[in-house]
Amino acid sequence: MELGLHELQERINQRRNVYRNLPPARLIETALAKGEGILTANGALRVTTGKYTGRSPKDRFIVDEEPVSSEIWWGSVNQPFSPEAFDRLCRRVLDYLGDKTLYVFDGYLGADPAYRLAVRVINEKASQNLFASQLFLNPTADELLHHQPEFTVIAAPGFQAVPERDGTRSEAFVLISLTRRLVLIGGTHYCGEIKKSMFSIMNYLLPAKGVLPMHCSANEGPDGDVALFFGLSGTGKTTLSASPNRRLIGDDEHGWSRNGIFNFEGGCYAKCINLSAEYEPQIWAAIRFGALVENVVTDDWRMICFEDGSLTENTRASYPLSFIPGAVSSGRAGHPQVVIFLTADAFGVLPPIAKLTREQAMYHFLSGYTSKLAGTERGVQQPEATFSPCFGAPFLPRHPLVYAELLGERIDEHNTAVYLVNTGWSGGPYGVGSRINLHYTRSMVNAVLRNELEFGHEVDPVFRLALPKACPGVPMEILNPRKTWADPAAYDEQAHKLASLFRENFSKFSEVPRALAAAQPL
């Protein structure tokens, strides 16, 4: 028998030991009392997440049900799960929660009222409820009185599935039912699963309303000029968008409608491995009381050892957007003048910055090349070359072309300039070369935003990307990656190797326009 949302809410409402919409201080006190974490020296709540220190994409499923089944991009990203198995497992999770104390957060996704989604998050752990209250948008007192959840997330990390019985791959699971309007998470304590499951739902809902959902950060200049930063986790979205000279709109998830852009969230979820006050002062200052840090190591004085990745390279900090000075409190802004695609190229052959034609922009958006960085997903210990369409394939329920066509429309409508920025390696591949200096990357991004970067006729011969003549604050020799290698022939070999991977990956998009396919590397 199908478990409906109304029945689920009634079962939760009948519980006596349910705490609703507690303020952060109360949640932190509760988490400490229950032994969920400790306070660090700077006041942040620190928790560890055990076996799962990153997302587990192979344990994520979408319930295969009508009428949405024909709209889903089925495959390794969106794995089908039967409705009957979902209902059985959901009832088992509710039975497990039994008389356990639960924490409920009611809020929203989407800063634009025309497109926002009311969400309820039900947690077994106070610390995860703190995460939800930081990352999602908090309602006003009046909105809370009238809040009616359109989607519900149940996170029960202490419940472990039995694959032979429940139809899961392992003890951990993230199950999304679009018709039941319910997300079920179990077996993993990693907070990011809560955030990303709701991002997937927004990625399903918004294209039908003519809105492009984007895995990007966004900021605004003094004159109201807007820039978007696309990229997978670890490529620099949060770091580069948190600039003292610009106002942060959001660090990870946005929509682009006919009215402009809007943040989905009310907080930030930043990687903090090797975090420094010098390079990332805003993020550094945001990790204080009210913030939550995952899997960081502390010393005897409970100072955070940001350089210590012994638990995972994917150490994380979550905090409200209001912790960033000057952040755009409305979460809304106009149409972007600049779009930047970020990639961390472990091959060491892509230029640190290049300007893209419209066709190249669409090609690289659909390709979504980067190197998957250590710790972002379970089992990833070294950077691996990967192609993630729209720089967010793990969160795309629909076919990538749906999102690419929306991006193309927006670029054409607003004459938006698009750049490719490599935050990865230079002078050789990973293990030989070195990571591009963050100061140089910031200088290049700032030059683009100030319209100070001049491009001449020099074009990369393999990737056919326009290279800048010069950039203030950046040594000339690093602007052309071939010149940074000790052995140019070795560079050529590596460049052609990566180009072949681009072509092989793009062959799956046989239905794209010929002009777009012609933008691929030689």
Distance of CA 15 to the CA centre of its chain: 34
- Contact yes or no for 251/217 (Cβ under 8 A): yes
Q: Confirm whether 238 is a catalytic residue.
A: yes
Q: Confirm whether 508 is a catalytic residue.
A: no
Q: Confirm whether 492 is a catalytic residue.
A: no
Q: Confirm whether 147 is a catalytic residue.
A: no
The owner of tokens 């499923």 is 61
Q: Confirm whether 53 is a catalytic residue.
A: no
Cα angle for residues 334, 339, 342 (degrees, 5° grid):
140
The owner of tokens 């949302």 is 5
Q: Are strands 369-372 and 332-333 parallel, antiparallel or unpaired?
A: unpaired
Per annotation, catalytic residue among 40, 56, 238, 388: 238
Helix (H) or strand (E) holding 176: strand 173-177
First-to-last alpha carbon distance for the chain, in angstroms, is: 56
Instruction: Output the DSSP codes for 248-272.
Output: EEESSEEEEETTEEEES-SEEEEE-
Per annotation, catalytic residue among 30, 53, 55, 235: 55
**Is residue 421 helix, strand or coil?**
strand
Instruction: Write the single-letter amino acid at 204.
Output: Y
Per annotation, catalytic residue among 316, 332, 364, 378: 316
Per annotation, catalytic residue among 46, 60, 196, 271: 196
- Contact yes or no for 267/319 (Cβ under 8 A): yes
Q: Confirm whether 254 is a catalytic residue.
A: no
Write the CB contacts of 170 (distance below 8 Å, at least 6 apart in sequence).
56, 58, 59, 161, 163, 187
How distant, in Å, are the alpha carbons of 94, 287, 320 from that of 129? 17, 18, 13
The owner of tokens 């990693």 is 190
* Dihedrals phi, psi of 192, to nearest 5 degrees: -60, -25
Q: Confirm whether 215 is a catalytic residue.
A: yes
Per annotation, catalytic residue among 215, 332, 364, 378: 215
Per annotation, catalytic residue among 106, 166, 225, 252: 252
**Is residue 95 helix, strand or coil?**
helix
Per annotation, catalytic residue among 189, 237, 254, 364: 237
Residue 509: Cβ-neighbour burial (10 angstroms; 0-12, 13-18, 19+): middle
Q: Confirm whether 423 is a catalytic residue.
A: no
Gap between the Cα atoms of 390 and 363, Å rounded: 10
Question: H/E/C letters for each residue in 19-31?
Answer: EECCCHHHHHHHH
Per annotation, catalytic residue among 49, 197, 233, 484: 233
Cis status, amide bond into 67, omega within 30 of 0 = yes
With b for 16 or more beta-carbon neighbours within 10 A and e for fewer, the 407-420 pattern comes to bbebbeebebbbbb
Residues annotated catalytic, as ranges: 55, 196, 215, 233, 237-238, 252, 316
